[in-house]
């Protein structure tokens, strides 16, 4: 006798009722699915370096495990790692104010650090300014905190960056925070010190919290990308988020951190103590090696950044030949953001249409700009081998040439 099991009806709670799954992760999953079905797919969707974690870091982690680093640490992370992060932050602040280990909370990736900060600072009735285009998770994380993310359109003539006028125009008496991301995902735009200072000054004047997501800071091509720690004149409402994922090719290790005023660090620690507790202990040891063995890290980062630069230049060279294709000139991160509006039939979602056609007709996976609030655009991640980047750019160029109408 067989019993029939009724399909589950799952009604989401109000907490997640409006939540959208991550579009960038969805593209990677679709590309993997097509590949598993036998199609050759060039995947430029992923937001992660294609390099292996540097050997000395892997070795340090293996040694730590053998030496018994297999148990819990303090919720906020082990002290030597927090001290190394605090030392780096103090150096960026140039001695204008000290940063102590008590201001550092280590989490399971900078994504969790951003969640901790937003969930601790913002709630119902609050508005948070988010430059558009902006990383997809900012909008959903702010929403999870039951606050409202207010998109602030970037200036197309300034690499889609925002400025104090644009922020002031989008602000309201309910504005309580602002998320900055430089170098920016998805544009690769980098704010100069002066641009960042003007924004931080406005935020300080209005009493807004600034969450500066600096996960791509070490991946910069023209000159070093400034940290908010270097330019802020007042750190009392500043949260700087960083991590090892991108610069050290350590996405899978899941280590990020927030540097904030100490009372906020205590709140985020309390929050994290009831969610995930400490970030994986072995990964904390790996991150400590990455941060403390500066010479070796600097060499590894320089090698990866020069490879990214070569790929960026190669992609731009091919795509620069496509008439009417506008791209943001990326000065950091590893993304190329392209406006495909002139090539699409779908006026509402040009990026979605072109991304679908690229996948179907050319076997090229990239992310539609709608994931970042900019549906006229597509994002190509050039964190892939040079020959693939060139081939991918050729295929994009072929589709856009054919598709010109």
Residue 354 near residue 362, CB atoms below 8 Å:
no
Selected range binding ligand PMP among 63-71, 76-84, 108-116, 372-380, rule: CB under 6 A: 108-116
Q: Site for ligand PMP (CB under 6 A): how many residues?
A: 13
- With 0-12 / 13-18 / 19 or more C-beta atoms within 10 angstroms meaning exposed / middle / buried, residue 345 is exposed
Residue 219, token pair as written in the block: 């991946």
**Residue closer to ligand PMP, measured from CB, 209 or 343:** 209
Measured from each CB, the residue nearest to ligand PMP is 109
Q: Strands 148-153 and 127-132, how do they pair?
A: parallel
**Residue closer to ligand PMP, measured from CB, 188 or 363:** 188
What's the min distance (Å) between Cβ of 184 and ligand PMP? Answer: 7
Give the distance, in angstroms, between the CA of residue 32 and the centroid of all CA atoms in the same chain. Answer: 21
Residue 256 touching ligand PMP (CB under 6 A) = yes
What's the min distance (Å) between Cβ of 136 and ligand PMP? Answer: 9
What's the min distance (Å) between Cβ of 62 and ligand PMP? Answer: 21
State the binding string over 12-41 for ligand PMP (x if CB under 6 A, else -). Answer: ------------------------------
Residue 251 touching ligand PMP (CB under 6 A) = yes
> Within positions 40 to 99, which residues make up the interface with ligand PMP, using CB under 6 A?
47
Residue 327 touching ligand PMP (CB under 6 A) = no
**Residue closer to ligand PMP, measured from CB, 120 or 182:** 182
Residue choice 49, 54, 109, 332 for contact with ligand PMP (CB under 6 A): 109
Cis upstream peptide for 183 (omega within 30°)? yes
- With 0-12 / 13-18 / 19 or more C-beta atoms within 10 angstroms meaning exposed / middle / buried, residue 15 is exposed
> Within positions 131 to 170, which residues make up the interface with ligand PMP, using CB under 6 A?
135
- Angle, helices 294-319/281-292, rounded to nearest 10 degrees: 90
Q: Print burial letters for 36-52: b (CB count within 10 Å at least 16), e (below 16).
A: eeeeebbbbbbbebbee
Selected range binding ligand PMP among 35-43, 103-111, 268-276, 283-291, rule: CB under 6 A: 103-111
Residue 181 touching ligand PMP (CB under 6 A) = yes
Residue choice 213, 334, 358, 375 for contact with ligand PMP (CB under 6 A): 213
Task: Give residues with Cβ within 8 angstroms of 270, minimum separation 6.
Answer: none
Q: Is the dihedral of CA 14, 17, 23, 25 positive or negative?
A: positive
Q: Strands 335-339 and 377-381, how do they pair?
A: antiparallel
DSSP 63-105: HHHHTT--S---TT--HHHHHHHHHHHHHHTTTSS---GGGEE
**Residue closer to ligand PMP, measured from CB, 161 or 357:** 161
What's the min distance (Å) between Cβ of 256 and ligand PMP? Answer: 4
156: DSSP letter: G
Residue 286 touching ligand PMP (CB under 6 A) = no
Residues near ligand PMP (CB under 6 A) are 47, 109-111, 135, 181, 185, 213, 215, 243, 245, 251, 256
């Amino acid at each position: 006798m067989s019993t029939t099991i009724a399909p589950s009806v799952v009604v989401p709670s109000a907490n997640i009722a409006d939540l959208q799954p991550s579009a960038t992760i969805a593209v990677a999953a679709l590309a993997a699915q097509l590949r598993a079905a036998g199609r050759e797919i060039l995947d430029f969707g992923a937001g992660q370096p294609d390099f292996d974690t540097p050997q000395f870091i892997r070795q340090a982690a293996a040694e730590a495990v053998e030496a018994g680093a297999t148990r819990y640490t303090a919720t906020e992370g082990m002290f030597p790692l927090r001290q190394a992060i605090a030392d780096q932050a103090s150096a960026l602040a140039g001695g204008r104010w000290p940063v102590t280990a008590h201001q550092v909370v280590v989490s399971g990736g900078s994504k969790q650090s951003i969640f901790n900060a937003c969930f601790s600072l913002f709630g119902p009735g609050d508005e948070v300014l988010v430059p558009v285009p902006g990383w997809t998770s900012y909008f959903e994380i702010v929403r999870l905190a039951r606050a409202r993310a207010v998109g602030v359109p970037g200036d197309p003539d300034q690499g889609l960056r925002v400025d104090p006028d644009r922020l002031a125009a989008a602000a309201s008496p309910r504005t309580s925070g602002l998320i900055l991301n430089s170098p920016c995902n998805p544009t690769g735009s980098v704010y100069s010190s002066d641009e960042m200072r003007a924004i931080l000054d406005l935020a300080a004047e209005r009493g807004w919290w600034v969450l500066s997501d600096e996960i791509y800071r070490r991946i910069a091509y023209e000159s070093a990308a400034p940290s908010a720690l270097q330019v802020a004149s007042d750190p009392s409402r500043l949260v700087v988020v960083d991590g090892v994922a991108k610069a050290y090719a350590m996405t899978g290790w899941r280590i990020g951190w927030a540097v904030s005023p100490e009372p906020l660090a205590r709140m985020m620690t309390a929050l994290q103590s009831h969610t995930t507790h400490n970030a994986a202990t072995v990964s904390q040891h790996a991150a400590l090696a990455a941060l403390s063995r500066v010479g070796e890290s600097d060499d590894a980062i320089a090698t990866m950044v020069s490879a990214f630069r070569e790929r960026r230049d190669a992609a731009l060279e091919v795509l620069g030949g496509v008439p009417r294709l506008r791209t943001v000139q990326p000065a950091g991160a590893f993304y190329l953001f392209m406006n495909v509006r002139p090539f699409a039939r779908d006026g509402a979602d040009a990026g979605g249409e072109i991304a679908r056609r690229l996948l179907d007709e050319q076997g090229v996976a990239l992310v539609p700009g709608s994931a970042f609030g900019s549906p006229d655009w597509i994002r190509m991640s050039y964190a892939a081998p040079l020959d693939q980047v060139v081939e991918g750019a050729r295929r994009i160029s072929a589709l856009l040439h054919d598709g010109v109408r």
